Chains A and B, each alone.
Chain A
């Protein structure tokens, strides 16, 4: 039986992420998921972009691809089409996936490319010093919104659903068991799957918004999310929570099947 240890480049640890950063939790969940599914390391590509989450490839024993900022899904589309037998798992932060890479996300979901996209959403650009991202909640303090973020945020999960993804879910690093389950479902899903994981950035977002240290931030995340079913019954002001759960899980032909069908 495979162990998560087989997927982790131990000699590369400790990783570069800050104390209390949730990226390590997501990395562990990924290695556990791959072990549980018994996917051989040489049949996995971990593809990432730029920013804190972009470094994830430095810590795995699988194939690794780190592209340019925001373009991960476009690179991954090429990798997948050339090597469909390999699982391509894309890890992109909120800035990576929703800002500079937003268009690629829409089109990867629309084509329903058989990729797994994990979006660790730490609500800001950590690597560059805590600037706001499209997914930063409005009124948040960041290093580029000292008076509070003027822009609204958007729901990247609903975007992926509308665009055509086969599987979309959201959870947090607080909900480790749920994260594990969703991750395995996402990896197994044929077609485009997206898992958004809310994760603490105590160094910037937590500090700027007085949310406390890592443990307090996790508690804050736990208080800030509610199950999807309950969220759907809410309206108006109450809907300021994040929902968590499985937003869509549906069957649709993936991009390569369509290409081969047309070819």
Chain B
């Protein structure tokens, strides 16, 4: 065991190294730039590649290219850059290329406030690229989790052959906390490899868990990658049956195995009356508020979401039967609250504690909202 005093951004970069990442392509943007800066030093030390591209579109493109070349690859960005990445994010979904995008959210829309936090890109992370798909999105709420969930993100990317987004924010990105790192390297999940006669390899034939085996460019197994609708051979097709089969598999390969994602963590009394649901840096205020409310004798618990997408609908639905009210604490005008409302389905009251002034939500604000609940 070793302990470090890291910023959120540093923990992400070291987490990526521990997860075996050897390729980073990026474009400097506040508040994520420290990840690029650190990678430019750490990767060459590890026989890896750091490349600074001409924009964020090219950055994710290079990451995808390197991943099909067989490397664990990632990028880091913030709102404006994440908007540019949407195009190739969809490509990674369609072509099933494992990669990790660390997105330190900042205040928006547009250039907004470059160095101030927000949690207003949770819906963009889910729905930002066009088409019909599932997205894997994780949200750490401490510097320790920046490290742990970055490791998880790489493994999930390989496991599901999918892009994985790690949503942090400007506050967490620059927060310094103690991080504990195990001496043994974290377990590594690797993309399934083709076996047997190379002439019979079909790049998009579903394997176990619906995931196709993935050859790398240069292997004897001929790899065909495309963002067009494609058959199992990787040849483009516009046949309705091929399109439907592909979309169904892309959805089901994630939805059927959603329980492999980091589950929500509950802290608080056994039978809470009010449940705070939160994610990311807002969790810290929610937990502090819950603790103070408990000290005053109120039964308030806190549910910390670690995977935002696919949304843990069943877990929220179960809690809705057991509590009187749910308060969704987030730094936006009310984005994930709608998703919680869908999951609660009228079983209890749902309201939001929302802050959207470029400051981190405080426990005092949550306590004030609690007294009204």
Indicate yes or no for A touching B, C-beta below 8 A: yes
A66:B61 contact, CB within 8 angstroms: no
A65:B65 contact, CB within 8 angstroms: yes
Measured CA separation A61–B61 after assembly (Å): 23
A78:B73 contact, CB within 8 angstroms: yes
With an 8 A cutoff between CB atoms, is B23 at the interface? yes
Measured CA separation A71–B92 after assembly (Å): 13
Query: Considering the complex, which residues of chain A in the window 32-71 have a beta carbon less than 8 Å from any beta carbon of chain B?
Result: 41-43, 45, 55, 57-58, 61-68, 71
**Contact indicator per residue, chain B 123-167, by CB within 8 Å of chain A (1) or not (0):** 000000000000000000000000000000000000000000000
Give the tally of cross-chain contacts (CB within 8 A). Answer: 136
Measured CA separation A68–B64 after assembly (Å): 11
Q: Is the interface of A mostly helix, strand, loop or mixed?
A: helix
Measured CA separation A63–B218 after assembly (Å): 8
**Which of A43, A79, A85, A103 is in CB contact (< 8 Å) with B68?**
A79
A12:B235 contact, CB within 8 angstroms: yes
A43:B61 contact, CB within 8 angstroms: no
Interface size on A, residues (CB 8 A): 36
Nearest CB of A to B181, in Å: 25
Nearest CB of A to B345, in Å: 38
Q: With A68-B88, A103-B54, A107-B58 known to touch, is A82 a contact of B225 (CB < 8 Å)?
A: no
**Which of A58, A83, A259 is in CB contact (< 8 Å) with B69?**
A83
Interface size on B, residues (CB 8 A): 42
Nearest residue (CB) in A for B94 is A68
Nearest residue (CB) in B for A66 is B226
**Contact indicator per residue, chain B 79-106, by CB within 8 Å of chain A (1) or not (0):** 0000000011001000000000000000
Contact partners of B57 in chain A: CB under 8 A: 71, 74
A78:B222 contact, CB within 8 angstroms: no
Q: With A64-B225, A67-B91, A71-B57 known to touch, is A82 a contact of B51 (CB < 8 Å)?
A: no
A76:B54 contact, CB within 8 angstroms: no
Measured CA separation A12–B88 after assembly (Å): 27
B68:A65 contact, CB within 8 angstroms: yes
B65:A82 contact, CB within 8 angstroms: yes
Of B49, B87, B220, B224, most buried by chain A (CB within 10 Å of CB) is B224
With an 8 A cutoff between CB atoms, is A176 at the interface? no
With an 8 A cutoff between CB atoms, is B55 at the interface? yes
Mark B residues whose CB is within 8 Å of A: 23, 25, 44, 49, 51, 53-55, 57-59, 61-71, 73, 87-88, 91, 216-228, 234-236
